[in-house]
Amino acid sequence: MAKAELDHFFRPESIAIIGASSTPGKVGYNFMANLVASSFPHEIYPVNPGFKEIMGIRVYEGIKDVPKTPDLAIIAVSQSLVPSILLRCADKGIKAVIISSAGFGDDGQEGKKLERDIVEIAKKRGMRIIGPNTQGLINPDRKLALISTSPKPLAKIIEGRVSYICQTAFFYWDWIINNTSLGLSKAVDLGNMCDVNHSEVLDYLGSDPKTQVLSLHIEGLRDGAGFVKTATKVTRQKPVIVLKAGRSVEGARAIASHTGSLAGKDETYDAAFKQAGIIRAADMDELIDLTKTFAYLPALPTGNRVGIITFSGAAGSLAADACAESNLRLAKFSKATINKMSQIFPSWASAKNPMDVFQIVTINAKAVHSAALESLSTDPNLDAILIVAMTVSTAPEFNPVDVLREYAEKGIRKPTVVCGLRDEEGLKQLVSLESRGLLTYSSIRRAAKALAASYHRYRYLNS
Amino acid sequence: MAKAELDHFFRPESIAIIGASSTPGKVGYNFMANLVASSFPHEIYPVNPGFKEIMGIRVYEGIKDVPKTPDLAIIAVSQSLVPSILLRCADKGIKAVIISSAGFGDDGQEGKKLERDIVEIAKKRGMRIIGPNTQGLINPDRKLALISTSPKPLAKIIEGRVSYICQTAFFYWDWIINNTSLGLSKAVDLGNMCDVNHSEVLDYLGSDPKTQVLSLHIEGLRDGAGFVKTATKVTRQKPVIVLKAGRSVEGARAIASHTGSLAGKDETYDAAFKQAGIIRAADMDELIDLTKTFAYLPALPTGNRVGIITFSGAAGSLAADACAESNLRLAKFSKATINKMSQIFPSWASAKNPMDVFQIVTINAKAVHSAALESLSTDPNLDAILIVAMTVSTAPEFNPVDVLREYAEKGIRKPTVVCGLRDEEGLKQLVSLESRGLLTYSSIRRAAKALAASYHRYRYLNS
């Protein structure tokens, strides 16, 4: 039932765009342009009494004039017109509506009343609403880009295994279009969430075979108990990562005026999230790190014993600090590792953890790096590897990233995270290895946190 | 006295490079290549019995053969040869030596003994040592790049107002060559710090008119009391930011094998740093954020009341959370601000803090952004401004970065920090405004932390 209802949104085979426009910059233009640009293979029915044709597609004066009942309607008109248009959609037999317009629960008493009105209409007439105040949704699998913002960046999006449920366009801009290497399964902005809510979509995408990781932005929950129940089920199958805004009184107040959500007490959320096996991110950076980690890490670490390979002794100390902070332990290398490395290291260097390979790079950089990776990835005393990688070459004709590439291409045998230097070129090279399961983080501390979170999930699944 | 001694390192007018080489990849090659590439205008005396000429410069068989007493000698030979070479340097009358070689206090009992030996020689013969196990130092003002790693990246370094004191090459790679937009006054890697230590260099650079901000990486202090005393004096004039490794037992152990330093109890450091007015960074990211903040922020905020401008309601909530977390308060806008913004905002939007300008961008993006910046920067109820900037244009022919550029070019009247989206192009544009005092951070939370740290410094200076 819920699945069929949400299929109307995520897998429509005909769409009406009410308020479609041919004026660049207008929301009704953007919806049209994005849908056309995404090569949506089914019917599009623009509706606007002011136009005859937009982008070569015939425009209808009213929704009643559309030749069939579309699976989904987008409403992109002034908020005051929304209730009457919603009624006309109901008359047409439409079951699913995305309301892009803002000025509802996000805007004072009058807006709140308007929102109650549309909810009542939807309930009475058996319609489901996503929004109002939503940016839309994306499903690359169905060539579906129902997005109210500028069409250009969408071209970069590739299909992937991560789905996003959020209450804001911010995610779309800050994350989806700027983390394209990760790839996208589905993304939806629930906006004010007057009807379709987090739990329903979480349940729907929890059963979606193309979705392997769920990343959520929550301002407030409409159905807290239902959400926890659904999450408890989904987290056993797929990692669910949540960024919950409104931790502070000020943040909660800001939320009330943004999507009209009541943020609730943060402690309550925190306890409920823990109980449901949800992975909580402290900020956008963590959300991005964790989502990537669970999307690409080939396996979860089965323990917290970490081996560190570093090109810098200083970075090794910082990495040891970062591991300790994240409750990871520094592994004691096995005899095999120590013996193997002793053969390569000069007498004054040694195979301690963190293993500092910097002093040796001028001797035989490639052999040392390869041996270190090989030893640690087969060392039974280790559950995971953290590498502080030199991405700037110190020795001629040696690029440490090549060693990492070889390591990744052979197939990763032990969860391995990497942090590189702050140089653009080197980081790009490292990031290109992520789809092979070798994950890069922008700092040592973030790499350690990601490793800790993945071990934490292992413990959750085995508890 | 100390000044004259350190001038030998930072302002030498003749340099001997003992162990100079013409083989790329060798440390002795890199020192030569970097010094030549930096256009050092004074005498260079390569010393190596195996060469006649390197890079067109005459090579001497031994230090005794050099025609005059150089101000500074670099020693880049196997550690076992260092004591005897040091003695020969003493015989030549050299007063300052940089020992690049590792394998001293960083390498077991034998190395520790070797380090004691060289310290004794230096004391007896009135020489000062930087190192051993150091990457070297840079002083762009004197066209001096005494660096043991690959010469390529040095070309990117520009002169600036920040000086770095560290105990590792990591900083050089991760920070100095990858944060070139900030510019460099001086940088020195103290390595094992057997002689010249943090306090002395802090004192020296504290009096250096070209140094306005000091950024330190500390593994351990040789003279804790002296350091605190010097820092207490310097922090009244210039911000001193410290990243102290070895917070954890594991980190401290790693340090012992890296530079042979004793890390000491972290609580002791923390208390001493606070007392001395030192700004402590939790990791490299924070060190970078804070250094940039103090280098470029035109003035410190005189209070903790922040006004937020955001293109996204969701980002506004997250920004409010981030401010609360950093003990910043959300300001109540003045009547003038509210009135001005009400004239521009449509009826359903409002001039609350955080001020969400997103819904208005399709109406008159440029006017709204400009008015918001103008109002907030003159609002007496605010001490600082945090902007979550849209760096991807939503409206045709409107780039929000242009508004920020105009704002920065007019001269910043109130401390203002910015965070952009995660898009490369937009961030580059934002970063180009930093030298005008408009600072960009990679996340909302980091921007709030930087603002809080600068307010904290204001309170320190006025306490």
Q: Which residues of B touch A257 (CB under 8 A)?
A: 313, 350, 352, 356
Q: What is the pLDDT of residue A375?
A: 94
How many contacts does A have with B, using Cβ atoms within 8 A? 234
Q: Do A248 and B315 touch (CB under 8 A)?
A: no
**C-beta neighbour count of A64 within 10 angstroms:** 11
Q: Do A251 and B320 touch (CB under 8 A)?
A: yes
Chain B: closest CA distance from residue A92 (Å): 30
Cα–Cα distance between B457 and B463 in angstroms, integer? 10
pLDDT tens-digit series, residues B52-81: 999 999 999 999 999 999 999 999 999 999
Across the interface, of A254, A390, A443, the residue whose CB is closest to B354 is: A254
Chain A: closest CA distance from residue B248 (Å): 5
> Mutual orientation of helices B82-92 and B108-125 as an angle, nearest 10°?
10
Q: Do A314 and B175 touch (CB under 8 A)?
A: no
3-state SS class at A200: helix
**C-beta neighbour count of B1 within 10 angstroms:** 5
Chain B interface, best mutation among A244, A321, A355, by max B CB count within 10 A: A321
Q: Which residues of B touch A79 (CB under 8 A)?
A: 348
Residue A241 has pLDDT above 80, yes or no: yes
**Mean pLDDT of all residues in A311-327:** 91
Across the interface, of B149, B255, B358, the residue whose CB is closest to A317 is: B255
The answer to whether B109 contacts chain A (CB < 8 Å) is: no
The answer to whether A395 contacts chain B (CB < 8 Å) is: yes
Work out the mean pLDDT of chain A and round it to a whole number.
90
Q: What is the pLDDT of residue A130?
A: 97
**Of A323, A241, A319, which Cα lies nearest the Cα of A283?**
A241
Label residue B312 by pLDDT band (50, 70, 90): confident
Q: What is the pLDDT of residue B260?
A: 64
Q: Which residues of B touch A354 (CB under 8 A)?
A: 254
Peptide bond into A354 cis (omega under 30): yes
Chain A interface, best mutation among B34, B174, B388, by max A CB count within 10 A: B174
pLDDT tens-digit series, residues B383-401: 999 999 877 665 666 778 8
Kindly report the backbone phi and psi dihedral angles of residue A145, in degrees, each rounded to the nearest multiple of 5, phi listed first.
Answer: -125, 90
DSSP state of A19: T
Residue of chain A nearest B25, judged by CA positions: A395
Q: Which residues contact A321 (CB under 8 A, 6 or more apart)?
A: B245, B246, B247, B248, B250, B251
Q: Which residues of A touch B270 (CB under 8 A)?
A: none
C-beta separation of B375 from B336 below 8 A: yes
Question: What residues of chain B, 233 to 272, have a C-beta less than 8 Å from chain A?
Answer: 243, 245-255, 257-259
Residue A286 has pLDDT above 60, yes or no: yes
Q: Which residues of B touch A321 (CB under 8 A)?
A: 245-248, 250-251
**Mean pLDDT of all residues in B255-263:** 66
Residue of chain A nearest B316, judged by CA positions: A254
Residue A361 has pLDDT above 70, yes or no: no
Q: How far apart, in Å, are the Cα atoms of B238 and each of B139, B196, B234?
A: 19, 21, 6
Q: Do B177 and A423 touch (CB under 8 A)?
A: yes
Q: How far apart, in Å, are the Cα atoms of B96 and each of A35, B82, B86, B456?
A: 70, 14, 10, 39
pTM recorded for the entire structure: 0.90
C-beta separation of A403 from A372 below 8 A: no
When mean pLDDT is compared across A307-311, B9-13, B322-326, the lowest value belongs to A307-311
Runs of H (alpha helix) within A284-417? 284-296, 313-325, 335-344, 361-378, 400-409
C-beta separation of A244 from A268 below 8 A: no
Q: Do A321 and B248 touch (CB under 8 A)?
A: yes
Q: Do A170 and B423 touch (CB under 8 A)?
A: no
Q: What is the pLDDT of residue A267?
A: 86
Residue B344 has pLDDT above 70, yes or no: yes
The answer to whether B316 contacts chain A (CB < 8 Å) is: yes
Residue of chain A nearest B169, judged by CA positions: A312
By the 10 Å C-beta count (0-12 exposed, 13-18 middle, 19+ buried), B190 is classed as buried
Across the interface, of A106, A284, A319, the residue whose CB is closest to B443 is: A284
pLDDT tens-digit series, residues B84-109: 999 999 999 999 999 999 888 877 78
pLDDT tens-digit series, residues A70-121: 999 999 999 999 999 999 999 999 999 999 998 888 777 888 999 999 999 9
By the 10 Å C-beta count (0-12 exposed, 13-18 middle, 19+ buried), A365 is classed as buried
pLDDT tens-digit series, residues B35-49: 999 999 999 999 999
Runs of H (alpha helix) within A150-248? 169-171, 198-206, 224-234
Label residue B24 by pLDDT band (50, 70, 90): confident
C-beta separation of B387 from B312 below 8 A: no
- Count Cβ neighbours within 10 Å for each residue of A262-292 and write b for 16 or more, e otherwise: ebbebeebeebbeebbbbbbbbbbbbbbbbb
Q: What is the pLDDT of residue B131?
A: 94
Q: Which residues of A touch B364 (CB under 8 A)?
A: none
DSSP state of A334: P
Higher pLDDT, B176 or A325: A325
Q: What is the pLDDT of residue B182?
A: 83
Chain A: closest CA distance from residue B190 (Å): 12
Cα–Cα distance between B264 and B246 in angstroms, integer? 8
Angle of CA points A235, A240, A242, to nearest 5°:
140
The answer to whether A431 contacts chain B (CB < 8 Å) is: no
SS3 per residue for chain B: CHHHHHHHHHCCCEEEEECCCCCCCCHHHHHHHHHHHCCCCCEEEEECCCCCEECCEECECCHHHCCCCCCEEEECCCHHHHHHHHHHHHHHCCCEEEECCCCCCCCHHHHHHHHHHHHHHHHHHCCEEECCCCCEEEEHHHCEEEECCCCHHHHHCCEEEEEEEECCHHHHHHHHCCCCCCCEEEEEECCCCCCCCHHHHHHHHHCCCCCCEEEEEECCCCCHHHHHHHHHHHCCCCCEEEEECCCCHHHHHHHHHHCCCCCCCHHHHHHHHHHCCCEEECCHHHHHHHHHHHHHCCCCCCCCEEEEEECCHHHHHHHHHHHHHCCCEECCCCHHHHHHHHHHCCCCCCCCCCEECHHHHHHHHHHHHHHHHHHHHHCCCCCEEEEECCCCCCCCCCCHHHHHHHHHHCCCCCCEEEECCCCHHHHHHHHCCHHHCCEEECCHHHHHHHHHHHHHHHHHHCC
Instruction: Give me the sign of the Cα torsion angle A59, A64, A67, A72.
Output: positive
Cα–Cα distance between A277 and A237 in angstroms, integer? 11
Residue B348 has pLDDT above 90, yes or no: no
Q: Do B249 and A219 touch (CB under 8 A)?
A: no
Instruction: Give me the sign of the Cα torsion angle A387, B162, B11, B128.
Output: negative
**Mean pLDDT of all residues in A183-198:** 93
Q: Which residues of A touch B316 (CB under 8 A)?
A: 254, 258
Q: Do A175 and B395 touch (CB under 8 A)?
A: no
Runs of H (alpha helix) within A326-360? 335-344
**Mean pLDDT of all residues in A249-253:** 86
Cα–Cα distance between B282 and B274 in angstroms, integer? 14
